[in-house]
Structure 1
Amino acid sequence: MDGLLFLGLIVLAVVLVLTWRRTTETMDKINQDVGLLSQRIDYLRRLIEKGEAGTGATQDRKPPAPPMPGMTVSPPPGVHPGAMPARSDSPVTPPFPPPMPPPLPVRDRPPVPYPAQVPDDFMKIEISDADQQEAAGRTQAIVDSVSTILRKMFNWLLVNEEFRPKGVTAEYAIATTWLLRVGILGLVGAASYFLRWSIEQNLIGPEARVGLCMLAGAAMIVAGLRMPGNKYSIMGQGFIGGGLLILYFSGYAAGPLYHIFGPQLSTPVAFALMICVTVAAGTIAVRTDSLLTAVIGLAGGFATPVLIRTAHPNLPVFYSYMLLLVVGMLAVSRSRQWRILNYLGFMATYVLFYASKTVYTIVDFPVAMAFLSAFFVMHSAIVYMHNVSRGNRSTVLEVLHLVANAVLFSWFGYWLIKDAYGGRYPAVMSIGLAAFYIAHVLFFLRRRLDDRKLLTTLIALAALFVTWTMPLLFEKESLTISLALLALAFLWIGRRIGSSFVVDLAYLIYLVVFVKLVGLDLMDNFGRHGGEQAPIAEYWRQMLTRLVRFGISIASVAVGFVLLRDDEAARPDDHTVSKENDLPHDLDRSMVRSAFFWFAALFAFLFAQLEISAMFTYWKPMRMPALTLVWCVAAGYFLWLYARGTVKSGVLLGAAIAFCSIAILKLFSFDLASWNFSERFVYGGEYAPVHVWARLVDFWALFLLCSVGWFTLHSRRAGKGASGFFGYAALLLLFAYSTFELNTFLSIRKPEMQAAGISMLWALFAIGFIGSGIWKNSSALRYLGLALFSLVVMKVIFVDLRHIQTIYKVVACMAVGLLLLAGAFAYIRAERKFHPGSGDRHDHDGIGDRASPDGVPADEP
């Protein structure tokens, strides 16, 4: 279980790194494109301005066009007609400019100058410093790099600010910060040592000591708040922090140290005082924008339960106090993005929860699990609360924070649930986590928030916990089915919402399914059988289980292939996930679809091979023929796909030839050996009908496959060479089966006719080859028939006539002679085909098309 969780985290980490890298590269490219586009716009604007200036300088002024009859001139806007002065004979200056002449017709307008050719230095325009600063500002606003954030955090530790103040040296900034911090700690130490000295000298009572410390702390806080801003703000923050520390110490002294309010009330009152100090620290930190104050308040708040302990721990009160602190952090995070505060609070929460295990019992499970869930929800909200409320994008630091929160919660929750209930109950937690992140994804999509890293992380976490649910909820045997169905669901959802990231997650889960099926499940089901054979009833039960397990997994891959085959892309408006929030899809869909197809096909063949082999161990004579049938079905399937033409790929034809070739090699290498085939071309053992039928099925299954292959491909121009392979393979199988089977039959039933019978059989094949070669116009078949005739004649003369009786010699010679005459008659009958100039018309496969008496193929006009 731990290994699976660790593996999932590794995969998620890799995905996050790749996501960050791709996002960075994409944003850099976008920034470059935007900068280049702005350069082009500036260049065009300058060209237009220069053109307008040149036009105004060179254009000759023309006299205004005469007014048209009945045309009136309207005054400019803003001038009432009644306000126009009366016309007089004396020249006066008009109160408004004369009206502009009417616009020129389009044909009289001068053409706007436009550069005939773009200059060579168009792409090399220098950018001003102001433009560079503006572009850098836009880039920083889009991508807030992790290095910048970490540098800000480091600067705060050094100089109490994210950036070093302008106009001061590093020495001044560091010196003032750390001298102040150490000085405040010195004042706090002085107060503590004063209390200790007063105790030793017995000067004042406990109540006075605590009261003086509270007054000193309050005075330091008031002094810090009254410090003037800007120049002395850092000193004011130091006084406020020191005052808060003294108040925390005073609360501790009033409670566990002196029990000022009595044995029963001192601890609750001190607890309440520290809560008030913590709330005051958070309020002051937000009002004064002081991270130092917030860190001190947080540290004091989480240190309070460590300092104030009771004789009888109360976990509900302890967890309630921690939840109050976390809620305060959430309130602060809405208005301030203080990552150091968030990280410190996150670590302190889970450290104190882990420390509570020392007093935890099974009875406390409901309380512990409820508060642990509340801590998880609060810290998840802290991660993205500020960015979502302000519209900012998340960085890798937020992603890591979100993942760490999920990991720690699932780790603690898993052991709490397992210790309390055991078994499969942790799956309830993983389902709840998956639902939690899925709800966030839906909310994210509904709000149309533009934050790719956050959306990707939420989807990845939802997928991780859904995947983790499978091994928790189901048995080991059902894990593969669960993962296969989960991968199919992710693939369907990813295509429905248009998310490449979800589709890539589906591919990743499918890869796990592939490895598990081949590397583990096949070995567990077929590779670890003992020496004893299980009863047939037990085998049928196991086979049904395997069919369900492997069948559903293969069906999931097949349905995934069908989904990927649908290349009809959805419109961008139909996508729920926008491109800005998604990852670029780099995988070629056709390549992935091919991987799905070949895995489903080859794994189904492998499973069928192993299952048929196990099944026919209960009927061994038919075991090898049954395996041959599996090879023939696979080769026939690939041949059928190729013949359909839907997939125009020579790989399918190559797969069909490969499977057929391996099946033929298997037949002659393993199947014949299983029938005790000897060098005399005779099957050993008992000549029983079951063995005869087994050999018939074995040979004729391959013969029919090769025959179908030849008939399918011989008329296709693209499959000429392959059709020759199937055709000659079919002839070889028919010749071998007839020879072996007849030789075995005659050796048992008629030994004296064994040699002569084989000779007559070969002579029949020879005449068949010659006749087919003449009919199909194939010289290769005719030469093969002539060669076989020659072999038959030599066999009859030198082998057959030496060991058989006279009557059988007569029969053999007559049969061979008649067959030879038949061959000669066939040549004479087709004399016209062998005239000079007629030529042989044959295909590339050597088995020609059927020809007419004139030597022209019958299918040609």
Structure 2
Amino acid sequence: MEVFVGLLGFGLLVVGAVAIVAFSMASRAQAQVRQLEALVQRLTASELPPTEPANTESVEPARDDLVPEKKKKVVDWEGLIGVRLFAWLGGIALFVGLAFFLRYSIQENLIAPPLRVGLGGIVGAVALFGGAYLRSKADRAGQAISGSGVAILYASLYAARTLYDLLPVSVTFAGMALVTVAAGLLAVRKDAPMLAILGLLGGFMTPFLLSAGDDRPVALFVYVALLDAGILAVAIRRQWPGLALLGLGSTTAVYSAWAYQFLDAARVPYALMAAAILASVFAIPRWRETEKGTQRDLVRATAVLASAIPFVLVLILSGTNVLRASPFLLVGYLAVLEAGAWFTTTRAAFTPMLPIASGLTAVILAVRASEDLFPSQRGLVLAAFALLPLLETGAWYLRRDKADGPALRLSAAIALAGSILIVGRVLSVEVHAGGPAPILELALYAFAHAAGLATIGVVLGSGAGLLGAQALAVATLLLLFGVESREVARGHWPLIVASMLAFWAIPFTIRPAQRDRLARLSGGVALVLHFPIFYGLLHGAWGDGPLGAAALVCAGLALASGMHGFALLFVTAAIPIWFDNEWLTAVWAFEALALAGWHARKSHAGLLAGSVLLAATVMVRLLANPAVWEYHARNGTPIFNWELYTFGLPALALLLAPRWLRTSDVARSLKLPAVYAGAGIALLFVLLNVEIADFHSTGTTVSFHLSQGGFRQDMTYSLGWGLFALGLLAVGIARDSRALRIGSLIVSSLTAAKVTLHDLWALGSLYRVASFVGLAFALLAVSFFMQRYVLRSAK
């Protein structure tokens, strides 16, 4: 029953391959016929004598019955089915029939083993050479018979060695090599792709059909290697890349079937070696240059797949208990595979092969980092795993100016960055085992790989490598400190400082990095990326004083390397560490003032943007932050209380800023002097109202009653607004400030409206009349003073 299932599977496989090849050959034949017809038509047209131009008046209209009809494409189904398909099926039937006979003779012991092998050899040889002779009369049938003869000869030789032990290994494989050579020579000489394909399929199915269930890997793999060599010889000679691709697929199927049934930990080294050798058979050969795009793509696909299949095999085995090989053996094997990938890249001109191989290697090493290696052999295994990125980086450096330099650079970068996978895997294994996280060892391992990425960036003078190295280092630190408790992780804070200082110093001290703007920027980025980790780890243990000082140290480092923007960022960050509540807002307001003055001297757009951003933050914190009223409890002291400096100091800073902003063309074009002055006036106006509310409040909180606080409180607000407006008008006239005068007009209008429409309106009808009269006189007075003292002086 097992043999029947095997034969049935073999038959289905051959029928599928037959159908594909037959359809391809039929399509090619039809295309050749069409090309010949077109050539004959061109030659016939070129031999016709030129015709005299006819009188256009006597030309008769064309008749529909004289227009030749387009020939319809007709598929020769009789030839396709009756000749090609039946020929293939006949060859398959011949081979299967002999296989059944051989199986039956074994079960019934009808024929002695030597005679069985001899009859099989005779029948196979007659079929092989007889089919070649019959090709002159029936090409397809002859190819089918020759193909079945090849399969029969393979089966006979394999049975003679494996089943009956009649022939030594050397003689058996010499015979198989002779059959392979004979089939290949006939296929090449007679241009018979059917013979080549049938020989291929028969050769690969022979171990399955005649297997006795025992494991003989050396004989199997040597047999497959010889078969592959013959297939490639024929494929290269006749330029049949599809045959080579079919051979690679068949080899993979045979190897996978053996591995599924017999592979164990003891056989892993030999199995890996066999996989590399079989893959190299298809990856190494050089094909002749061809102009056909399809053939060129098939050649490239064969080489690429041959290089990638061993990686996939190791990746699959790494996730099982089978692959428990030495880490150095695994690293050495992966180094050989990566060398093969480089060879494929140069031979097949497929540059993505190297990065793909590097990425697969990183994943394989991460999967292999299992509990049998960690933590017992942590140092040794990490050292072994670091060898591959080191070799790839060295290979790139030696060939950085060659054509494959970019591919080698990307491959080395992927290998170095892949260390984060290994770090994460080791952490998972050791923490799951209940032990402490090896923070120091894994950090040093990751920093070594980050140094490799930084080296690439320095050699190229590119900031991309430096930023990639920083990303690897920062990701590793976050991963390491994220799995341990904060108390344990705090003892490793020097790792953060060392990483930060190293990446800050590289573009500052190494000349090649100084020529690239992105590389110089990476120094400031290093400070920005590492400081939050440092602060988050030590916050609550060191206190605000040392951490604020650390922020200022980072600001000094940024300033020393010429990165003023980053220095400003750290100064701004140190303020909320040292200060809180209203003092934070006040210091940010004066920092905005300082940046405005700095911009007046340096004319740097970043300084102006920082000043505007800080000023906007101050306004939001004071005017749109309900938590302001929870900073302190009301103490009952009028005027000289915490509200005075909370709103007064930021207002003072914003009112002083226009003095420097007026000297900047950019600031004037954006109307920033008027904006800052308006913001300061708004804060003073809010402060006035807060002080009035505080004066009329009771208890520990400030209560605002602008409309229902009683006549006394309402008039206090109105009086304050009026005095505020007069003060603005006076200062505006004295300093010739249009912004202040406009602010005075706005506040005066609000005051007059409040007094007239709210305060006096509530007193009665006579007071209402007086209120409107008073409003009229107030408006007229403002108009008079504006015209008399402002507009006239302007003229």
- Asked if the contact 2:595/2:610 (under 8 Å) is kept, the reply is no
Q: 1:435 to 1:190 in 2, by over 3 A?
A: closer
Letter of the structure 2 residue corresponding to residue 545 of structure 1: I
- TM-score using structure 1 length: 0.50
Asked whether 1:359 is paired with 2:309, we answer no
Q: Tell me which amino acid in the other structure corresponds to 1:777.
A: D
Q: Does 1:214 align with 2:131?
A: no
Matched, 1:716 2:581: no
Q: What amino acid does structure 1 have at the position aligned with 2:83?
A: T
Which residue in the other structure is 1:240 paired with?
146
Q: In the superposition, relative to structure 1, how do residues 177 and 281 fare at CA in structure 2: closer, same or farther (>3 Å)?
A: same
Q: Aligned match of 1:467 in 414, 431, 434?
A: 414
Q: For residues 219 and 521 of structure 1, what CA distance do their matches in structure 2 show?
A: 69
Partner of 2:29: 164
The equivalent position to 2:215 in structure 1, one of 302, 310, 313, is: 313
2:768 aligned with 1:839, yes or no?
Answer: no
Whole-angstrom distance in 1 between the partners of 2:180 and 2:477: 61
SS at match of 1:420: coil
C-alpha contact (below 8 Å) 1:334/1:386 kept by paired residues: yes
- 2: distance between equivalents of 1:245 and 1:315? 21
Q: Specify which of 665, 669, 673 is matched with residue 620 of structure 2.
A: 665
1:780 aligned partner, one-letter code? A
Aligned to 1:420: 324
What are the within-5 Å matches in structure 2 for residues 721-736 of structure 1? 721-729=671-679
Mapped to 2, the partners of 1:249 and 1:674 lie a distance apart of: 95
Task: Quote how far apart the aligned CAs of 1:367 are.
Answer: 2.5
Alignment of 1:188-207 (within 5 A): 188-192=95-99, 205-207=112-114
Q: Secondary structure at the match of 2:671?
A: helix
Q: Which moved more, 1:613-622 or 1:601-610?
A: 601-610
Alignment of 1:289-438 (within 5 A): 289-307=191-209, 313-357=215-259, 358-381=261-284, 385-386=286-287, 404-405=305-306, 407-414=308-315, 416=317, 419-421=323-325, 436-438=340-342
Distance change (3 Å), C-alpha of 1:197 and 1:554: same
Displacement of 1:489 in angstroms is 8.4
Whether the 8 Å CA contact 2:496–2:533 is kept in 1: the answer is no
Return the offset for 1:258: 4.3
Contact 2:588 2:618 in 1 (8 A): no
Q: Which amino acid counterpart does residue 420 of structure 1 have in structure 2?
A: R
Shift of 1:176: 0.2
Is the Cα–Cα contact under 8 Å of residues 710 and 727 in structure 1 kept in the other structure? no
Separation (CA, whole Å) in 1 of partners of 2:505 and 2:18 = 52
User: Residue by residue, what CA displacement relative to the aligned partner does 1:376-405 show, whole Å, maximum 9, x if unpaired?
Assistant: 4443346xx436577968766666656654
The offset of 1:177, in angstroms, is 0.7
- Distance across 2 between alignment mates of 1:705 and 1:484: 46
Instruction: Choose between structure 1 and 2: higher helix proportion.
Output: 2
Q: Deviations over 1:578-602 (max 9, x none)?
A: xxxxxxxxxxxxxxx9xx9999999
Distance across 2 between alignment mates of 1:405 and 1:348: 12
Number of the residue aligned with 1:251? 157
**Residues 639 and 614 of structure 1: CA distance in aligned 2, closer, same or farther (over 3 Å):** farther
| Residue in 1 that maps onto 2:85 | 178
- Cα 1:600–1:249 change in 2 (3 A) is same
**Separation of aligned partners in 2, 1:270 and 1:439:** 33
Distance across 2 between alignment mates of 1:193 and 1:161: 32
What are the ranges of 5 or more consecutive residues in structure 1 without an aligned counterpart?
Answer: 1-150, 497-502, 567-592, 748-754, 794-829, 841-861
1:690-725 per-residue CA deviation (whole Å, 9 max, x = no partner) reads x99xx99x9979976996687246531564323433
| Cα pair 1:281 1:294 within 8 Å, conserved | yes
1:545 has 2:545 as partner = no
Letter in 2 for 1:471: G
Matched, 1:779 2:735: no
Q: Does the 8 Å contact 2:276/2:310 carry over to 1?
A: yes
Does the Cα contact within 8 Å between 1:282 and 1:332 map onto a contact in 2? yes
CA 1:198 to 1:836, structure 2 compared with 1: closer, same or farther past 3 Å? closer
Residue 430 of structure 1, CA deviation: 6.1
Q: Distance in 2 between matches of 1:319 and 1:709?
A: 86
In the other structure, the counterpart of 1:18 is: none
Is the Cα–Cα contact under 8 Å of residues 155 and 162 in structure 1 kept in the other structure?
A: no
CA–CA distance in structure 2, aligned partners of residues 319 and 634 of structure 1: 77
* CA gap 1:177/1:669 in 2 versus in 1, 3 angstroms: same
Relative contact order (C-alpha < 8 Å, sep 6+): which is higher? 1
Question: Following the alignment from structure 1 to structure 2, what is the Cα–Cα distance between the partners of residues 737 and 422?
Answer: 76
Where 1:386 maps in the other structure, the secondary structure is: coil
Report if the CA contact (8 A) 1:255-1:270 is conserved.
yes
- Hey, what's the Cα distance between the residues in 1 that align with 2:693 and 2:452? 58
Q: Which amino acid aligns with 1:341?
A: L
3-state SS of 2:28 partner: coil
**Residues 158 and 177, structure 1, Cα contact 8 Å, conserved in 2:** no
Question: What's the CA shift for 1:250?
Answer: 2.0
For normalisation by structure 2, the TM-score amounts to 0.53
Return closer, same or farther for 1:225/1:461 CA change in 2, 3 Å cut-off: same
Q: Is the 8 A contact 1:278 1:298 kept in 2?
A: no
Cα shift readout 1:743-795 (whole Å, capped 9, x = no counterpart): 99xx9xxxxxxx9xx999999998985675345421322454688899999xx
Could you tell me how far apart the structure 2 residues matched to 1:356 and 1:641 are? 76
Measure how far apart 1:301 and its partner are: 3.1
Residue equivalent to 1:97: none
Say if 2:662 and 2:673, in contact at 8 Å, map to a contact too. Answer: yes
Query: % of aligned pairs identical?
Result: 21
Cα distance, 1:541 vs structure 2: 3.7
Change (3 A) 1:430 1:665: farther
Matched residue of 1:677: which SS?
coil
1:440-451 superposed matches below 5 A = 441=345, 443=346
Who is 1:226 aligned against? 133
Separation in 2, partners of 1:701, 1:253:
98
Shift of 1:244: 0.8
Shift of 1:276: 3.1
Closer, same or farther: CA 482–776 of 1 in aligned 2, 3 Å: farther
Partner deviation per Cα, 1:60-79 (whole Å, 9 max, x = no partner): xxxxxxxxxxxxxxxxxxxx
What is the alpha-carbon distance in structure 2 between the residues aligned to residue 375 and residue 789 of structure 1? 95
Equivalent positions of 1:760-839 (< 5 A) are 773-774=732-733, 776-782=735-741, 784=743, 834=789, 836-839=791-794
Report the Cα offset of residue 546 of structure 1.
Answer: 8.0
Check the 8 A contact 2:674/2:739 in 1, yes or no. Answer: no
Tell whether the 8 Å contact from 2:132 to 2:146 is kept in structure 1 after alignment. yes
What is the 5 A alignment of 1:70-89?
none
Question: Aligned partner of 2:736: which letter?
Answer: N
